Amino acid sequence: MRKLLLTSIIFIVAVSFSSAQLLPSFQFGVKGGLNLSSLQATTAATFSSSNQAGYLAGFWARIGALGFNFQPEMYLTSKDVDVSANGGETTAKFTSIDVPLLFGGKIGAFGIGGRFYTGPLISFAINKDQNFSGAVDKATSLDYQDQNFAWQFGIGLDIKKISFDLRYEAGLTKQDYGSGQTRVNLFNLTLAYSLFKL
């Protein structure tokens, strides 16, 4: 009797794991969260910046099979930075539509699993605001490009229909700042909900 029970449990676990990882699936959902943006100097620019909190909200889809998945997303994001240079300070806020195209893998069963992924991100700026104080003028403003590229790395945890994601986004596009250049990098933490799964 014990052997039959043990065999049944192993069979159920194996079937659940296989169906979760091997069979083609499609999910679609919503997500939202916070980010922390920072600037990284790429040339001899002299400034200091501090992390500022922003937000993101949008949609995601996940297509998976054989333990791997492709996850395109589209969300509205706000990136905020404070920059000090030449005796003054610039507060810059950029709103954009971001489109990550992520590839990764998943392990787990019974609706609970861990994910890891990486991929490119295309960002389209729709609003660029800057406030100046002190001796800062346009010569030291951050010229944020209309179209930007970045690369994301992340991990995630799925619990039934809810997902938690932690990502690092490394900016690839150089932004002009005064006489130098910089890249915008950020961390984001999001909560996602699966609306349906096929």
pLDDT tens digits, 18-55: 444 556 889 999 999 999 887 776 665 555 566 678 89
Q: For residue 165, what are its two tokens?
A: 């994601």
Is domain 2-197 classified as CATH 2.40.160.20? yes
Q: How far apart are CA 168 and CA 156, in angstroms?
A: 12
> What pLDDT sits at residue 97?
94
DSSP per-residue string spanning 40-78: EE-SS---EEEEEEEEEEEEEEEEEETTEEEEEEEEEEE
Contact 152, 100 (CB under 8 A): yes
Could you report the per-residue pLDDT of 168-177, keeping only the tens digit for each?
999 999 887 7
Q: How far apart are CA 100 and CA 98, in angstroms?
A: 6
- Domain segments of the chain: what residues? 2-197
> What pLDDT sits at residue 3?
53
Q: For residue 137, what are its two tokens?
A: 């003028």
All residues at 6 or more sequence positions from 167 whose CB lies less than 8 Å from its CB, including other chains:
152, 153, 154, 187, 188, 189, 190
Residue entry with tokens 């300070």: 89
Could you report the per-residue pLDDT of 128-151, keeping only the tens digit for each?
887 766 545 555 567 778 899 999
Instruction: Give Cα 45 distance to the centre of its chain.
Output: 27
Total residue count of the chain as it appears in this document: 198
Q: What is the reported pTM?
A: 0.79
Q: Which of 52, 47, 43 is nearest to 134 (CA)?
A: 47
Q: Calculate mean pLDDT across residues 68-83.
A: 89
Helix (H) or strand (E) holding 7: helix 2-21
Instruction: Give Cα 152 distance to the centre of its chain.
Output: 6
Contact 100, 72 (CB under 8 A): yes
